[in-house]
Amino acid sequence: MSGPTALEERLVERDGYRLHLRHGGDPARPLVLFLHGYPDSQRMWREIMLALGDTYRVASLDWPGIPAGEPRQPARRYRIDRLLEDIEAAVQALGAERLHLVGHDWGASVGWSYVTHPDYGRRVRSWSFVSGPHLAIWLRWAREELTSGRPRRTAVAAAQLLRAGYTVPLIVWPLGEALWRLAGVRGWQWVLRLAGVPKGDPLLDEDRAQVRALTLGPMALYRQNVLHPPPLPPRDSVTCPVQLIIAERDPFVAEVSYGNLGDYVRDLRIARLPGSHWVTRSHPDETLAVLRGFLAEVA
């Protein structure tokens, strides 16, 4: 059986902006919703969605202000609690009662808060994520390691904080804005190539207007959430099956920084893929196989 040859677009009207959704597959089948990160768009999931559309209903959405042509949104629009409302609006527009959720990078960090939300989380059948921790859980891990009094643990946590050093100019708004405007399309392509997007990938085929839509407005994800993380969920509170997909050569998020996930997740599975941050693009077949296997197990 083959999946859909194309994905349909649907617009969801919100308060002062529109959400762009793409979806395909049989509406009677279980929904798998994909969340993208920064600085990219739902385009990153297209091929995997088309492949999974033979078995599932698939959907993805762009964060506010994407694609090019949509008005740039105020920074507060990118607070995680506001983005959860966007996800819920998308789910309701699709008419789904429950869903499987998949996230990458910031899509994973936002997805974590959806999964751990006392109301939204009840909708989630399963949760798969790549290269994006729950911010509060991650910060608790870092704090406990740094204050453990054990040199090895302290050194590991310090090394992970250095990996995350790239976030500093993105948090300092004027600096990050200036850097992205100066870098332009070529700088954006260089960042994605450096972190695993292969040469010639269609994900890299964006014009100047789209790159600005991907980078400038959504950059507020950092300054709105890193210093003001979402609430820490109760221990042992995530009851749906969770799949952590490790990108083994990820320069930004090390596997060790997920060391305390077992304190919060009752059913945690771990898969490893031999790629960098955008392993979903460099190893699409392997990513698809991991997702298929997990979804089949938890169905």
For position 119, what pLDDT does the model report?
Answer: 95
Pairing verdict, β 31-35 and 18-24:
unpaired
- Inside any domain, residue 1: no
- Inside any domain, residue 38: yes
pTM: 0.96
For position 131, what pLDDT does the model report?
Answer: 96
- Inside any domain, residue 3: no
Number of C-beta neighbours around residue 137 at 10 A:
23
Residue 105: pLDDT over 90 = yes
Residue 158: pLDDT over 80 = yes
The chain-wide mean pLDDT, for the chain, equals: 96
- Inside any domain, residue 2: no
Q: What is the pLDDT of residues 259-293, one digit of tens each?
A: 999 999 999 999 999 999 999 999 999 999 999 99
Q: Note down the domain range covering 269.
A: 8-298
CA angle 127, 132, 136 (to 5 degrees): 95
**pLDDT-based confidence at 195, cuts 50/70/90?**
very high
- Inside any domain, residue 79: yes
As for how many domains the chain has, the answer is 1
Residue 2: pLDDT over 70 = no
What is d(CA 17, CA 131) in angstroms, rounded to the nearest whole number? 28
What is d(CA 128, CA 34) in angstroms, rounded to the nearest whole number? 10
- Inside any domain, residue 140: yes
CATH at residue 100: 3.40.50.1820
Of 97, 102, 43, 120, the C-alpha closest to 294 is 102
For position 6, what pLDDT does the model report?
Answer: 85
For position 1, what pLDDT does the model report?
Answer: 44
For position 299, what pLDDT does the model report?
Answer: 84
- Inside any domain, residue 200: yes
Of 179, 121, 113, 142, the C-alpha closest to 253 is 142
**pLDDT-based confidence at 148, cuts 50/70/90?**
very high
Mean pLDDT over 228-243 rounds to 96
